[in-house]
Amino acid sequence: MKLTRRKLIVGGVLGGGALLVGWWFAKDRDRLGDRTVFKARMGEVALNGWVKVGRDGSITVAAPRAEMGQGIHSALAALVAEEMDAKWSDVRVEDAADLNVYRNVEILIDGLPFSPEETGRMIDVAKWAGSRVSGLLGVVATGGSTSVRDAWEPMRLAGASARDLLLRAAAAKAGVDRKTLTVVESEVRDAAGKKIATYGELAATLGALQPLRDVPVKKAGEFRLIGKPLPRIDVPAKVMGTAGYGTDVRLPDMLYAAIANCPTFGGKTKGFSLPSAGLPKGIVKVIELPTAIAVVADSWWRANKFLTGGDLRLNWDAGPNAGLDSRAIAADYAGLLKDGKPKLTRSRGADTPPADAKFLPATYTAPYLAHATMEPMNCTSLLDRGALTIWMPNQSSSLMRYVGAKEAGLDQDKVTVHTTYLGGGFGRRAEVDLVRQAVALAKALPGKPIQVLWSREEDIQHDFYRPMATARFVADIPADPKALPGWTVRLVGQSASSQFPGRVLGIGETGDPDGNSVENPPYAFARYRLDAIVPQGPVPVGFWRSVGHSHTAFFDECFLDEVAIAMGRDPLELRRALLKDKPRHLAVLDAVAKASGWGTPLPAATGRGIALRASFGSIVAQVAEVAVEGRTIRVRKVFCAIGCGIVVNPAIVRAQMESGIVYGLSAALHGRITIKGGAVEQANFPDYDAVRMADMPAVETILVESKDAPLGGVGEPGTPPIAPAVGNAIFAATGKRLRNLPFELK
Amino acid sequence: MVALTINGERRDVDAEPDKPLLWVLRENLGLVGTKFGCGVAACGACTVHVDGVATRSCSVPLDQVAGKSVTTIEGLGGDRIHAAQLAWIELQVPQCGYCQPGFIMAAAALLAEKPKPTDADIDSALTNICRCGTYQSIRKAVHRAAEMAGARR
């Protein structure tokens, strides 16, 4: 793709939403970096900004994207290793610093809150960004399923450039022409196939050689590692229990902080009273922050016991939202469905339905959801002699550094962020609340490393939630059953993209919907109109795996089933008719239909449902097989087809499909956050449960590879289709159409 | 001072008797492979073996394990890697990996009790939570570990 060579960047984005932070030209070769960028340790030499070679033969790749389970460290390292012709077992990764060459360019483009064709608004956005924010150009960030798409050109170039540099050193050493040399498994060989030196042996001989920026990369047919299920770099440590997460950071004389956040949204602290007996053993200090009270101790358990045990009295000012209730918000949204003013309208096709059309209306809802990463929220920080160091499982070291510096009153060059393994991210760890809290405590106790760790209850009750949302559809059903239906939808929900820049940068909401909640569907409806109403409110909303698609796919794909049934057409067949000019979508749809045996008989009280969603550059279609026993919904089997262009690691793509399905299924069967009295009612896994082993469907994934299609993401696209596939299967099994999540049979 | 055996070694722990075993491991003994997930024995991230029985260590106070033998992920398999860990690597189970020590400990306890577990055995013994959704790989890995352990015998 030509565009990947030179991109005009406008704005910045995390997790599919918008953080608009500036603009500049970025060329892939400008991101190579020289030999000083990637800091070499004893026995290592850097070849460019992305690769180091050790005398022991190790090849270390800079990994500026957070490893939160999606296998990104291994996928990125494979891009470099491929071009170097490196031996895979020699390859390791290292957390990369927050530097320009590592910034995620793709995330800026991909998640902008409008469709790319809307050039007028891009100009507005650039103006907005330019006026509001200067000096912060782009971000090192992981989200929006962008990492491989972003790295595809620069990291392959880094590998090719590293190989070229090593070959030039080898040619000088052997006194031969560089063009005659080949590399097999990190070993440089001459024209006769005889070994000249290994990469490790060449490390000491590089002298002042500099990396070239115009080195060709391999063509698709030449790949040796890309496309193979290479073993993941992070797996052995994760199996042996030695992988270091944020909660595992241990520093000399480290203190631990347990946190009680003000229970109500928008509330504040109003002091605390210590027990008359004084502070218990091990408790160092109780610190009042604007919206939280922290107990700092020599043990987190001691801190949390004192904080929650009842001896320490916490006082809160519940603030302006003490009466907030999610049922009342839902009622407001129902009103907005009728008469709310749209922030965005999109339409195409005829303005009015045919005179003989019948109308089919339906209203759908989806609740707020928490992320519930397995590793509870945490951040470790040390403010010492004017320098701030942060150790944190996070999705954007740039943002953590920016906010950490601001909170500490330091220049950004005095702040270092170390990104640990993330025990899950799902969008939650793009948020800056933990770093703000940790640095505030570090300021109160300078010179002491402090690890802030939230309990699970704090995590569930103080998240940035997937927005509650509702949609009202009206389809026009043509009298001619072979004609295509028309489609109108009014959508109401808060926007993470609108809130996020505000809480990071301290500015107001933009008011724009999440870009991917208003993406135009691929279907050739006879007419199409979308009105998106974006209410603002005190409930903090954030990027939840697949963001807008997580609920709009449920709305759209279940309603499309209703339309098919109203037209007397098969749900697969109607989708095929609506996609007849979209060969990539059709290929994915047909692949899943074939694998699932669509149309073949099933036992009684069992049904199949199909759904398709294109998101984050990939197309995913799923068929769920559901058995209903009384009120119990059992998802027995899920067939999943994905078209994501070139597959870098098929094992990782399959794992991400299973992962996305389970994440979406947990939400569809269990997930619901409700608010009463201004506070979240759920607190821990017993009331915010997840799919477990016994409920796990068998998942079969089909990779529909197309070498000439643009690369798509894989971290999020598996999630959107599962809820509608299950909803449609429940209808097929029972004749009951469930239009509200989570699914409940009454 | 409470005496107990940790990964085959006798240890004397100076901690409050009501301190949960999880926090004793993580804070007093420096064994951070066992994870904190929920604090209410609901997710299984903190699973260890107490006298061979899979136990959610976040909800077991120190005084209840006095004199007992505790095995954590760091000590599983003794001198050699446990079959479950081998299978977990072969089948590339982990994603974020945070829950995996707990799952591996639960699986190892199941395999010790039932060397050839059925799917139903796995469903009822492995009730931990994995938010990344690695359940299908875990199920395969438990069966694979059973094969490997059988071959080792």
CB contact under 8 Å between A423 and B35, yes or no, is: yes
Q: What is the pLDDT of residue A403?
A: 95
Within 13 Å, how many C-alpha atoms sit on residue A437's CB side? 28
Residue A734 at interface with chain B, using a CB cutoff of 8 Å: no
Q: Which of B6, B38, B73, B79 to mutate to test the interface with A (most CBs of A within 10 A)?
A: B38
Q: What is the pLDDT of residue A109?
A: 58
- Quick one: what percent of chain B has pLDDT higher than 70? 100
Residue A193 at interface with chain B, using a CB cutoff of 8 Å: no
Domain boundaries, chain A: 44-104+140-240, 247-319+377-453, 326-368+464-734
Q: What is the pLDDT of residue A120?
A: 54
- Other beta carbons less than 10 A from residue A332's beta carbon: 14
Within 13 Å, how many C-alpha atoms sit on residue A152's CB side? 21
Architecture of domain A247-319+377-453: 2-Layer Sandwich (3.30)
- SS3 at position A318: coil
Q: Which of B31, B82, B105, B131 to mutate to test the interface with A (most CBs of A within 10 A)?
A: B131
**Cα A401 to Cα A423: distance, rounded to the nearest angstrom:** 20
Contact residues on chain A for B40, CB-CB shorter than 8 A: 456, 684-686
Q: What's this model's pTM, rounded to 2 decimal places?
A: 0.94
Q: Which of B33, B96, B136 sits opposite A374 (nearest CB)?
A: B96
User: Contact at 8 Å (CB) between B48 and B72?
Assistant: yes
Q: Supply the DSSP string of chain B, one letter for each residue.
A: -EEEEETTEEEEE-S-TTSBHHHIIIIIS--TTS--S-SSSSS-TTEEEETTEEEEGGGSBGGGGTT-EEE-TTTTTTTS--HHHHHHHHTT--SS-TTHHHHHHHHHHHHHH-SS--HHHHHHH-----TT--HHHHHHHHHHHHHHHHHH-
- Residue partners of A188: CB distance under 8 A and separation at least 6: A166, A167, A170, A181, A182, A195, A196, A197, A198, A199, A202
Predicted ipTM > 0.85: yes
Q: What is the pLDDT of residue A549?
A: 97
Task: Chain A: give the shortest CA distance to residue B67, in Å.
Answer: 22
Q: What is the DSSP letter of A463?
A: -
Q: Which of B72, B97, B124 sits opposite A69 (nearest CB)?
A: B97
Q: How far is CA A230 from CA A3, A91, A325, A713, in A?
A: 29, 11, 49, 18
Domain A44-104+140-240 adopts which CATH fold?
Aldehyde Oxidoreductase; domain 4 (3.30.365)
Token pair of B83, please? Answer: 């079959």
Q: Which of B132, B134, B139 to mutate to test the interface with A (most CBs of A within 10 A)?
A: B132
Q: What is the C-alpha end-to-end distance of chain A, expressed in Å?
A: 51
User: Contact at 8 Å (CB) between A222 and A58?
Assistant: no
Residue A425 at interface with chain B, using a CB cutoff of 8 Å: yes
Q: Give just the sign of the alpha carbon dihedral A162, A165, A170, A171.
A: positive
pLDDT tens-digit readout, A517-556? 998 889 999 999 999 999 999 999 999 999 999 999 999 9
- Quick one: what percent of chain B has pLDDT higher than 90? 97
- Other beta carbons less than 10 A from residue B1's beta carbon: 7
Please report where in the chains the tokens 């991230």 appear, as a residue. Answer: B45
Residue A89 at interface with chain B, using a CB cutoff of 8 Å: no
Helix (H) or strand (E) holding A426: none
Q: Which residues of chain B have pLDDT under 50?
A: none
Question: Domains of chain B by range and CATH?
Answer: 2-75 (3.10.20.30), 83-152 (1.10.150.120)
Q: What is the pLDDT of residue B49?
A: 98
Q: Supply the DSSP string of A43-83, one letter for each residue.
A: TEEESSSSEEEETTS-EEEEE-S--SSS-HHHHHHHHHHHH
Please report where in the chains the tokens 């460290």 appear, as a residue. Answer: A73
Token pair of A604, please? Answer: 């009684």
- Other beta carbons less than 10 A from residue A253's beta carbon: 9
Do A326-368+464-734 and A247-319+377-453 have the same topology in CATH?
yes
CB contact under 8 Å between B36 and A453, yes or no, is: yes
**Cα A542 to Cα A603: distance, rounded to the nearest angstrom:** 41
Q: What is the pLDDT of residue A21?
A: 38
CB contact under 8 Å between A661 and B133, yes or no, is: yes
- Other beta carbons less than 10 A from residue A106's beta carbon: 25
Angle at the Cα of A551 from the Cα atoms of A550 and A553, rounded to 5 degrees: 80
CB contact burial A715-741 (16+ within 10 A = b; e otherwise): bbbbbbbbbbbbbbbbbbbbeebbbbb
**Cα A704 to Cα A217: distance, rounded to the nearest angstrom:** 24
**Cα A566 to Cα A63: distance, rounded to the nearest angstrom:** 51
Token pair of A63, please? Answer: 């990994």
Contact residues on chain A for B124, CB-CB shorter than 8 A: 694
| A 57-76 residues with CB < 8 A to B | 67-71
State how far Cα A404 lies from the chain centre.
22
Q: Give just the sign of the alpha carbon dihedral A328, A719, B141, B143.
A: positive
Task: Chain B: give the shortest CA distance to residue A133, in Å.
Answer: 34
Nearest residue to A16 via CA among A426, A460, A327: A426
Contact residues on chain B for A231, CB-CB shorter than 8 A: 89, 92
Report the CATH number of the A326-368+464-734 domain. 3.30.365.10
Q: Which residues of chain A have pLDDT under 70?
A: 1-27, 108-138
**Cα A285 to Cα A295: distance, rounded to the nearest angstrom:** 6
Contact residues on chain B for A425, CB-CB shorter than 8 A: 96
Task: Establish, for the pair of chains A and B, how many residue pairs have beta carbons separated by less than 8 Å.
Answer: 167
Task: State the amino acid at position A133 in one-letter form.
Answer: V
| A 303-362 residues with CB < 8 A to B | none
A233: region left, alpha or beta (phi > 0 left; psi from -120 to 50 alpha):
alpha
Q: Which of B30, B32, B133 sits opposite A659 (nearest CB)?
A: B133
Cross-sheet strand order for the sheet of A182-184? A182-184, A187-189, A195-198
Nearest residue to A132 via CA among A24, A21, A293: A21
CB contact burial A659-693 (16+ within 10 A = b; e otherwise): bbbbbbbbbbbbbbbbbeebbbbbbbbeebbbbbb
A145: region left, alpha or beta (phi > 0 left; psi from -120 to 50 alpha):
left
Q: Which of A231, A456, A659 sits opposite B39 (nearest CB)?
A: A456
